[in-house]
A and B are shown apart, each in its own frame.
Chain A
């Protein structure tokens, strides 16, 4: 890594010599492998390696992000031909100068795992095949990203973050009588975190549930669906709701219009910050520091030290997700929310691991308190409008609750709710807790970053 660091150091010193107001260089070395099996047939093992530098420059308020994989001085010097343009002026918040060196351990080194991918995925595929699945598509990847960040203020951060991830898509049944389910897996750490037996156990449960819904599931009429007021939502549903209706609208660049033509806007704006969003039981956190989580980091892509952020506190909007630009704009300090998917793209405001804090009730208490309603355990698809005000979660595994007990599976339950109605309906929090991995897309060019989302099971009582 040392030669690469010299190039980053050179970039920063050159930028200062040329009179730029701010210079930041970020070098990344990535390597990894991926493998997939489609309908029982292997698609080939891919091993990749890449390296590159990103240089961010501010000159009289104009911001340029330059990236290249050609790590020679001549190409780097290209970045510094940049001149200020007529447009937005970017200023950065004052942040502590940080110097840190951190890594996540790997019991099984990523590069030693490449040759395990085919046999491990084949084992999983053979298992899934036996479980009566019509179509299946399995994908696993493993990799490590080593980074070096230095800026003109003296911050210098080194990191080494390995990770494993998987994406499994299954369809049971045929034609109109079929159900589809996609399960994701993701962790920050060595290959030892990919446990095939645990994945087999999870997939077995999911496939059984799909068959159960297909064979025994009933459909409710629109009238019957509209009468349902009490809903027990699982951590998976809570997670997607937290991510889509709290996390995304809390991104300050959305709030202040930078994403208007891409990912969209937010129901939050400069005049309604601090508004009541949910019941006082609702506390929602975004925390990158959770060990081995898929969205893990200790310093963001601007070198700011990470911490948990309380987005919603006792039902009230509390913190936005901020990078240095929007921290300056809002008169605050950055809360380390700047991330990029690679050196190739600009860091923008992103979530990490976003969740609802859990409570004390066990699941039976939630059902008992609901009395009659629906238990929605997983979803097939969802969508939400671009201001994040109204969402639909289409039930995959859902059950009618009758007299305080889950009973018959329901095929066609959809949870449609406005953001404020959903969070105000939170009346009881479970004592269980689960986080689910995902790849969150944002920006143009599109960037997908690893995240997690989740919480406990909750009882929602709609008016």
Chain B
């Protein structure tokens, strides 16, 4: 059954509104460990979901299988949920369609049609191109077909594919990890990761450093891990429940040169879609302009509540973020960024970023893998990382607003990135320099 058929049956049951989605999803994960293809995980799914409202009471149910029996069961569960739910008095409905969709996402047939034999061969080819002491990682390939139908006239579908390669390369007692993500298999070229691994050759020695203030050059993956909290906290639900952007509308929250966007429309964006969870067209929304927070993110209901327009960020009850894009007026090469640092550290990866208080935005994180100490514009040595024999390493303590206010230079290397620390979240972020960061040695 398709989403529209299911919707017709649902709307005969007396609900005020309904959103029906159906999806089929195939994915393959190939695990690389100890320099070998370790194992393969293959998934095939087909399912649906149902969102209904009645007198401002809200219910969600899953549709286990796309057949009439499962649909009837879901409707019964939805009725049960509606009868028990309490009304959400500040709920104002779903977006009123139909809509025209300008945006598309890429569907790569090569990914969709690849079987486990082909995927294993692709993974082994990647492994053969790496020359190091050890290698670990994951290759992930997936294709999805998604449809939505709503009682407010939306009927739409979108097909997309994803390829993600993450490699952690160990060589000469150091390590570096990087991830490539794209909707096209042809863009997954291990050479792009290996060019980053060239950083391992910058340094021949490892030393510890003292606690103190340093300028940090975060490469785009760790930069994105930290900055991807921005469009999440700009969602109005997080503003209402207390986040570091609460009460900051119209105030400077970042350096004057910085602009940030939430963008659900990027064709190559893994988190992109032509429409959001209520079928409203996705868009590029500026959140921060020249350092000032100018906008929160909304779905149709929260936009009505706040007398503004949806930003295409549904989330059926509360908005959810799309893809963060960070831009700066002036961009520089990584070499120029390194040359501009008097006393600092190049951070290639972070680990276990934790907030002690989301309202203030205080967090700490631990650099993992290669970190390079930079003195007077020149890479000097690899910063000693924690292991059982040395027990030293570095920890970063900072605050999100302070960090953004102190992003003074950015790289010309913006690309789609992600990290294991934020799996499922993708961002288009360049490398950034944050000045005067508190670094303590463990």
Instruction: Note all chain B residues with C-beta closer than 8 A to A446.
Output: 423-424
Instruction: Note all chain A residues with C-beta closer than 8 A to B8.
Output: none
Do residues B359 and A385 form an inter-chain contact, with CB atoms below 8 A? no
Do residues B442 and A344 form an inter-chain contact, with CB atoms below 8 A? no
Complex Cα distance, B276 from A204, in Å, reads 39
Contact of A178 among B36, B62, B357 (CB under 8 A): B357
Do residues B37 and A44 form an inter-chain contact, with CB atoms below 8 A? no
Q: State which of B112-120, B214-222, B287-295, B408-416 sits at the interface with chain A.
A: B112-120
Complex Cα distance, B240 from A135, in Å, reads 8
Contact of A50 among B40, B64, B134, B177 (CB under 8 A): B64
Cβ of B378 under 8 Å from chain A: no
Instruction: Note all chain A residues with C-beta closer than 8 A to B391.
Output: 389-390, 418, 420-421
Cβ of B15 under 8 Å from chain A: no
Q: State which of B184-192, B322-330, B362-370 sits at the interface with chain A.
A: B362-370
Q: State which of A34-42, A144-152, A280-288, A450-458 sits at the interface with chain B.
A: A34-42
Chain A residues numbered 66-88 whose CB sits less than 8 Å from any CB in chain B: 66-70, 75, 78-79, 81-83, 85-88
Chain B residues numbered 57-88 whose CB sits less than 8 Å from any CB in chain A: 57-62, 64-65, 73-74, 77-78, 80-88
Do residues B31 and A383 form an inter-chain contact, with CB atoms below 8 A? no
Complex Cα distance, B73 from A44, in Å, reads 19
- Output the least CB separation between A22 and chain B (Å): 13
Q: Given the interface contacts A63-B39, A114-B81, A258-B38, does A264 sit within 8 Å of B387 by beta carbon?
A: no
Chain A residue at smallest Cβ distance from B363? A381
Contact of A257 among B120, B136, B167 (CB under 8 A): B136
Do residues A47 and B31 form an inter-chain contact, with CB atoms below 8 A? no
Contact of B33 among A52, A257, A263 (CB under 8 A): A257
Q: A439-451 vs B: 1/0 string, CB under 8 Å?
A: 0000011100000
Interface size on B, residues (CB 8 A): 90
Cβ of B264 under 8 Å from chain A: no
Contact of A381 among B59, B73, B78, B364 (CB under 8 A): B364
Q: State which of A115-123, A187-195, A401-409 sits at the interface with chain B.
A: A115-123
Chain B residues numbered 75-108 whose CB sits less than 8 Å from any CB in chain A: 77-78, 80-90
Cβ of A136 under 8 Å from chain B: yes
Do residues A88 and B84 form an inter-chain contact, with CB atoms below 8 A? no
Do residues A38 and B33 form an inter-chain contact, with CB atoms below 8 A? no
Cβ of A90 under 8 Å from chain B: yes
Q: State which of B42-50, B198-206, B339-347 sits at the interface with chain A.
A: B42-50
- Output the least CB separation between A51 and chain B (Å): 6
Q: Given the interface contacts A65-B40, A383-B395, A389-B391, does A260 sit within 8 Å of B85 by beta carbon?
A: no
Do residues A50 and B62 form an inter-chain contact, with CB atoms below 8 A? yes
Do residues B388 and A416 form an inter-chain contact, with CB atoms below 8 A? no
Q: Given the interface contacts A68-B45, A175-B360, A444-B420, does A39 sit within 8 Å of B368 by beta carbon?
A: no
- Output the least CB separation between A257 and chain B (Å): 5
Instruction: Note all chain B residues with C-beta closer than 8 A to A42.
Output: 58, 85-88
Most buried by B among A114, A171, A179, A420: A171
Do residues B167 and A261 form an inter-chain contact, with CB atoms below 8 A? yes
Instruction: Note all chain B residues with C-beta closer than 8 A to A50.
Output: 47, 62, 64
Q: A360-391 vs B: 1/0 string, CB under 8 Å?
A: 00000000000000000000111111110110
Complex Cα distance, B236 from A38, in Å, reads 12
Q: Given the interface contacts A66-B42, A180-B359, does A386 sit within 8 Å of B351 by beta carbon?
A: yes
Cβ of A300 under 8 Å from chain B: no
Instruction: Note all chain B residues with C-beta closer than 8 A to A79.
Output: 42
Instruction: Note all chain B residues with C-beta closer than 8 A to A67.
Output: 41-44
Cβ of A234 under 8 Å from chain B: no
Complex Cα distance, B88 from A118, in Å, reads 12
Instruction: Note all chain B residues with C-beta closer than 8 A to A117.
Output: 84
Do residues B240 and A39 form an inter-chain contact, with CB atoms below 8 A? yes
Do residues B360 and A83 form an inter-chain contact, with CB atoms below 8 A? no
Contact of B29 among A384, A389, A445 (CB under 8 A): A445
Q: Given the interface contacts A178-B360, A383-B352, A444-B423, does A390 sit within 8 Å of B393 by beta carbon?
A: yes
Contact of B60 among A46, A175, A257, A385 (CB under 8 A): A46
Contact of B117 among A85, A382, A389, A416 (CB under 8 A): A85
Complex Cα distance, B219 from A429, in Å, reads 45
- Output the least CB separation between B315 and chain A (Å): 10
Complex Cα distance, B240 from A114, in Å, reads 27
Complex Cα distance, B237 from A75, in Å, reads 40
Chain B residues numbered 11-50 whose CB sits less than 8 Å from any CB in chain A: 29, 31-34, 36-47
Cβ of B146 under 8 Å from chain A: no
Chain A residue at smallest Cβ distance from B360? A176
Q: Given the interface contacts A42-B88, A64-B39, A258-B33, does A386 sit within 8 Å of B359 by beta carbon?
A: no
- Output the least CB separation between A25 and chain B (Å): 15
Instruction: Note all chain A residues with C-beta closer than 8 A to B424.
Output: 446
Q: Given the interface contacts A118-B84, A134-B242, A261-B420, does A48 sit within 8 Å of B62 by beta carbon?
A: yes
- Output the least CB separation between A76 and chain B (Å): 10
- Output the least CB separation between A69 and chain B (Å): 5
Complex Cα distance, B169 from A206, in Å, reads 44
Q: Given the interface contacts A49-B62, A258-B31, A261-B138, does A115 sit within 8 Å of B39 by beta carbon?
A: no
Cβ of A9 under 8 Å from chain B: no
Cβ of A289 under 8 Å from chain B: no
Contact of B442 among A64, A87, A136, A385 (CB under 8 A): A385
Complex Cα distance, B317 from A295, in Å, reads 31
Chain A residue at smallest Cβ distance from B177? A261
Chain A residues numbered 319-354 whose CB sits less than 8 Å from any CB in chain B: 344-346
Do residues A88 and B39 form an inter-chain contact, with CB atoms below 8 A? yes
Instruction: Note all chain B residues with C-beta closer than 8 A to A35.
Output: 85
Cβ of A267 under 8 Å from chain B: yes
Instruction: Note all chain A residues with C-beta closer than 8 A to B357.
Output: 171, 178-180, 380
Cβ of B194 under 8 Å from chain A: no
Instruction: Note all chain A residues with C-beta closer than 8 A to B393.
Output: 385, 390
Instruction: Note all chain B residues with C-beta closer than 8 A to A267.
Output: 387-388
Instruction: Note all chain B residues with C-beta closer than 8 A to A136.
Output: 241
Do residues B116 and A135 form an inter-chain contact, with CB atoms below 8 A? no
Cβ of B137 under 8 Å from chain A: yes
Chain B residue at smallest Cβ distance from A171? B242
Do residues A383 and B365 form an inter-chain contact, with CB atoms below 8 A? yes
Do residues B43 and A381 form an inter-chain contact, with CB atoms below 8 A? no
Do residues A444 and B31 form an inter-chain contact, with CB atoms below 8 A? yes
Complex Cα distance, B31 from A65, in Å, reads 12
Complex Cα distance, B136 from A178, in Å, reads 42
Cβ of B355 under 8 Å from chain A: yes
Do residues A88 and B43 form an inter-chain contact, with CB atoms below 8 A? no
Chain B residue at smallest Cβ distance from A180? B357
Do residues A385 and B368 form an inter-chain contact, with CB atoms below 8 A? yes
Cβ of B320 under 8 Å from chain A: no
Do residues B241 and A135 form an inter-chain contact, with CB atoms below 8 A? yes
Cβ of A212 under 8 Å from chain B: no
Do residues A135 and B38 form an inter-chain contact, with CB atoms below 8 A? no
Cβ of B318 under 8 Å from chain A: yes
Cβ of A105 under 8 Å from chain B: no
Cβ of A109 under 8 Å from chain B: no
- Output the least CB separation between A107 and chain B (Å): 20
Instruction: Note all chain B residues with C-beta closer than 8 A to A90.
Output: 39
- Output the least CB separation between A232 and chain B (Å): 21
Chain A residue at smallest Cβ distance from B385? A385
Instruction: Note all chain A residues with C-beta closer than 8 A to B298.
Output: none
Complex Cα distance, B136 from A48, in Å, reads 36
Cβ of B307 under 8 Å from chain A: no
Contact of B386 among A179, A263, A385 (CB under 8 A): A385
Contact of B38 among A78, A87, A381 (CB under 8 A): A87
Cβ of B168 under 8 Å from chain A: yes
Instruction: Note all chain B residues with C-beta closer than 8 A to A444.
Output: 29, 31, 138, 140, 166, 420, 423
A-B CB contact pairs (8 Å), 17 listed: A42-B85, A42-B86, A45-B58, A50-B47, A87-B38, A115-B84, A175-B360, A178-B242, A257-B33, A258-B136, A267-B387, A381-B356, A383-B351, A390-B393, A394-B364, A421-B391, A444-B31
Knowing that A44-B51, A66-B41, A420-B388 are A-B contacts, what are 5 other residue pairs whose CB atoms are under 8 Å apart, sorted by A's residue number? A42-B58, A69-B46, A134-B359, A383-B354, A390-B386
- 4 pairs of A and B residues whose beta carbons are closest in the complex: A44-B58, A87-B37, A135-B242, A260-B136
